Copies of this chain bind each other. A is one copy, B any other.
Amino acid sequence: MAPKWRELADRLADRIKSGEYAPGQQLPHIRDLVEAGEGSKSTVHQAYKALEAEGLVTSSRGHGTVVRSQTPIKRLGISRYDKAKWRDGDEVAFIADRVASGRAYRRGEQTQNVSRVEAPPAVAAAHGLPVGSEVYARARLVKEGDQPTHTLTSYYRPEHVEGTRLVDPTPGPAGRGGGYRVLYDAGYEIDHMKEELFARIPTAEEVKQLQLPVGEPVVELHRTTCTADGTVVEYAIGVHAASRFAWEYDFKVPDSARKEEVRP
């Protein structure tokens, strides 16, 4: 037999999913359920924590417990890197994503912090640098309205970006066309990329920075961007609130028996 708190949580979850408790609506107060004989305060509280961990509600002291509204997810396809967007046009990739999703762009939705740091091991490995080398780190926190959605930190080799707008510590997108436009103007046209993704539990710091609800996972994205000759010009690490994004990749089925399919 399931514990009492689990049964209570399941009953409440059913009523949330059926729409009986609508998004934004308050759940019964803990003390009311204690009064109604659902158990002691600790027991009811445990049920509420479970619902919070399952992403169904958020609680706050003084306010109460309200049903979370599910924000539609943003689909990220490789077309967000389209050269036409940043080379010919005026958009940076992350804005293009938003336009594609039918959402308006607002100012001040990206903070930026550029610094010269010692390369973390993964960064040094991606750039093919000896450990301890210095790189430029451009850290952004991207918001949708007031709500942070992801962080993105790009690492560049000093010789690629020194003297460009990228190392200018002004907040905001890196000017017209974004970071890839700056690299293009500096003679580094990006050609191919690799993205690696995995999901995990956030650190305490990420919970704070991204204002994550209890129990929400994050997806970590490692992006390696190369020029046509294979030089790595950017290695970026992003941490995304899992409930807000989905990733899409289209590709041909590889055939190693056919030589012409091999990528240089």
Contact of A194 with B247 in the complex, beta carbons under 8 Å: no
- Say yes or no: is A20 at the interface (Cβ < 8 Å to chain B): no
On A, residues with C-beta under 8 Å from B are 42, 53-55, 73, 75, 78-79, 81-84, 88, 190-201, 215-219, 225, 242-243, 245-257, 263
Q: Can you name the residue of chain B whose Cβ is closest to the Cβ of A81?
A: B253
* Given A82-B256, A83-B257, A256-B84; A250-B193 close (CB under 8 Å): yes
Contact of A195 with B242 in the complex, beta carbons under 8 Å: no
Chain B residues, Cβ within 8 Å of A195: 248-249, 251
Q: In the complex the two chains form, what is the Cα distance from A199 to B244 in whole Å?
A: 10
Specify how many copies of this chain sit in the oligomer. Answer: 2
Contact of A255 with B83 in the complex, beta carbons under 8 Å: yes
Q: Nearest-CB distance from A264 to chain B (Å)? A: 11
Chain B residues, Cβ within 8 Å of A225: 253
Chain B residues, Cβ within 8 Å of A215: 53, 201, 215
Which residue from B42, B81, B197 sits with its C-beta under 8 Å from A246? B197
Chain B residues, Cβ within 8 Å of A201: 53-55, 215-217
Contact of A255 with B198 in the complex, beta carbons under 8 Å: no
Chain B residues, Cβ within 8 Å of A193: 250-251, 253
Which residue from B192, B218, B256 sits with its C-beta under 8 Å from A250? B192
* Given A248-B196, A249-B194, A250-B263; A88-B242 close (CB under 8 Å): no
Chain B residues, Cβ within 8 Å of A191: 252-253
Q: Can you name the residue of chain B whose Cβ is closest to the Cβ of A225?
A: B253
Chain B residues, Cβ within 8 Å of A216: 201
Q: In the complex the two chains form, what is the Cα distance from A242 to B81 in whole Å?
A: 27
Q: Can you name the residue of chain B whose Cβ is closest to the Cβ of A263?
A: B250
Q: Can you name the residue of chain B whose Cβ is closest to the Cβ of A88?
A: B257
> Assuming A53-B201, A82-B256, what are 15 further A-B pairs, CB within 8 angstroms?
A42-B42, A55-B201, A81-B254, A82-B254, A83-B256, A84-B255, A88-B257, A192-B252, A193-B251, A195-B251, A196-B246, A196-B248, A196-B249, A197-B246, A198-B219
Q: In the complex the two chains form, what is the Cα distance from A248 to B245 in whole Å?
A: 17
* Given A242-B199, A242-B200; A194-B82 close (CB under 8 Å): no
Contact of B190 with A217 in the complex, beta carbons under 8 Å: no
Chain B residues, Cβ within 8 Å of A247: 196-198
* Given A53-B201, A55-B201, A217-B217; A78-B196 close (CB under 8 Å): no
Chain B residues, Cβ within 8 Å of A256: 79, 82-84
Chosen A-B contacts, 28 in total, with CB atoms closer than 8 Å, are A42-B42, A53-B53, A53-B201, A54-B201, A55-B200, A78-B251, A78-B253, A82-B253, A83-B255, A83-B257, A84-B257, A191-B253, A192-B251, A193-B250, A193-B253, A194-B248, A194-B249, A194-B251, A195-B248, A196-B248, A197-B246, A198-B242, A198-B245, A199-B219, A200-B217, A200-B243, A217-B242, A249-B249
